[in-house]
């Protein structure tokens, strides 16, 4: 069974992740895939004021635990996971301000690639 962990940068300051537009958009993406049932979400860092230069490796490794598929939300997260030697798939951040994900052809391509990654 695939245990998928989606990894963002750091939690929002207002602690409204499940009500934000990025999270809602992400949930719609999962619905369109229809194949990811067992997943969790974490961040590179637990601090909303994180400086984005260093990663709390112990925190992240504890969060990864037994997850066997990692998905980075965005390029910065992907860079940190690569530095740690962690295999992962990079998905653009689901922010409505992200121009890449506002391009429906590009978005469908990335979601198809994510589906293939999940199946491997």
CA atoms of 81 and 39, how far apart (whole Å):
18
Mind listing the pLDDT tens digit for each residue in 4-16? 999 988 777 665 5
Average per-residue pLDDT for the chain: 86
DSSP string, 11-56: --TT--GGGSHHHHHHHHHHHHH----SEEEEES-S-TT--SS---
> In sequence order, what are the residues at sequence separation of 6 or more whose Cβ sits closer than 8 angstroms to the Cβ of residue 79?
none
Say yes or no to pLDDT of 53 above 90.
Answer: no
Considering the segment(s) 4-119 as one domain, its CATH architecture is 3-Layer(aba) Sandwich (3.40)
Residue, of 102 and 89, whose pLDDT is higher = 89
CB 7 within 8 A of CB 70: yes
pTM of the model: 0.88
Say yes or no to pLDDT of 1 above 70.
Answer: no
What are the domain boundaries of the chain? 4-119
Q: How many CB atoms lie within 10 A of CB 15?
A: 9
């Amino acid at each position: 069974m695939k245990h998928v962990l989606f990894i963002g940068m750091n939690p929002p300051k207002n602690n409204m992740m499940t009500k934000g537009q990025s999270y809602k958009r992400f949930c719609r993406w999962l619905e369109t895939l229809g194949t990811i049932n067992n997943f969790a979400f974490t961040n590179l860092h637990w601090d909303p004021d994180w400086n984005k230069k260093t990663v709390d490796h112990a925190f992240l490794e504890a969060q990864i635990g037994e997850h066997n598929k990692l998905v980075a939300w965005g390029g910065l997260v992907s860079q940190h996971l690569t530095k740690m030697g962690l295999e992962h798939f990079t998905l653009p951040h689901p922010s409505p301000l992200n121009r890449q994900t506002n391009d429906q052809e590009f978005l469908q391509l990335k979601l198809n690639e994510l589906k293939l990654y999940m199946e491997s």
